[in-house]
Amino acid sequence: MGELSGKAALVTGGGSGIGAASARRLARLGARVAVLDLDEGAARAVADEVAGLALVGDVTEPSTLPDAVARVEAEFGRLDVAHLNAGIGGRQPGVDASLDVAAYRRLVGVNVDHVVYGTCAAVPALRRGGGGTIVVTASLAGLGPMPADPLYTLTKHAVVGYVRAAGAALAGEGIRLCALCPGFADTPLLGAARARLTDAGFPLLTPERVADAVEAMLREAEPGSAWIVQDGRDPAPYRFRGLPGPAGGQRPPDVELG
């Protein structure tokens, strides 16, 4: 019996790369797994491999994640783990008049909107089950600058900030929201950059190595934490520096802006 025996999980972008490795790992730990991907064939292939549920949908559509969570609850009776993993690269400079607005909106839709839609869909289900974990695939680009892809960096910083704030807000309900921040991993997301990295002798993470981090996070992650995954290092939470406050030392009350 695995650690997740009797539990149910949903993985977005689960048809390849990190998502597929995560789906396999969650199944190996005993979970029943739903694999959501835009590519129906890829979703079905991984779902069949783990004896799970294949779901097809565009994560940028507001209805996709609520529908997916409803299917998971209908099929498995509960939801305990959501791995919001789907993501794409910027593929343009994003710093001048050449901006492709449609491609930019697609990037934000996949990398940011999907995380918000997925969290908002998963949280009620996790509440019904008495708690659970949401792992969001961010990136090292969410913790530091990636000058080669400023728009990707923007989206991953947004995701890390959202996770840190919302994770703290949900912690009291037994719901852990945390961010997975891998370095360069050998997945289709790399595209043409893969050859440049390997030619330079740069070590690439395997998707299975990132799945190791997912497993560690399910055991140990604190709400709102961001875990770094780098080749040759054990996955571990990033230690954010504190922010300076007013000179008088006052702390602001919790407020909503606007």
Degrees to nearest 5, angle at CA 48 with 10 and 192: 75
Stretches where the chain sits below pLDDT 50 are 1
The pLDDT value given to residue 257 = 78
| pLDDT tens digits, one per residue of 2-14 | 799 999 999 999 9
Residues in a beta bridge with 228: 181, 236
Q: Is residue 257 part of a domain?
A: no
Task: Determine how β-strand 132-137 pairs with β-strand 32-37.
Answer: unpaired
Q: Is residue 3 part of a domain?
A: no
Print the domain residue range for 93: 8-230
The answer to whether 164 and 224 are in contact (CB under 8 A) is: yes
CB 146: neighbour CB atoms within 10 A? 19
The pLDDT value given to residue 87 = 96
Catalytic residue annotation: 152
Q: pTM to 2 decimals?
A: 0.94
Q: Is residue 248 part of a domain?
A: no
Q: Is residue 235 part of a domain?
A: no
Structure-token match 């998502």, residue found: 19
| pLDDT tens digits, one per residue of 123-157 | 999 999 999 999 999 999 999 999 989 999 999 99
Q: What CATH number is attached to the domain comprising 62?
A: 3.40.50.720
Please give, one letter per residue, the 3-state secondary structure of the chain. Answer: CCCCCCCEEEEECCCCHHHHHHHHHHHHCCCEEEEEECCHHHHHHHHHHCCCEEEECCCCCCCHHHHHHHHHHHHHCCCCEEEECCCCCCCCCCCCCCCCHHHHHHHHHHHHHHHHHHHHHHHHHHHHCCCEEEEEECCHHHCCCCCCCHHHHHHHHHHHHHHHHHHHHHHHHCEEEEEEEECCECCHHHCCHHHHHHHCCCCCECHHHHHHHHHHHHHHCCCCCEEEECCCCCCEECCCCCCCCCCCCCCCCCCCCC
Q: Is residue 256 part of a domain?
A: no
Q: Is residue 250 part of a domain?
A: no
Instruction: Specify the number of domains making up the chain.
Output: 1
The pLDDT value given to residue 12 = 98
The pLDDT value given to residue 1 = 47
Q: Is residue 141 part of a domain?
A: yes
Q: Is residue 60 part of a domain?
A: yes
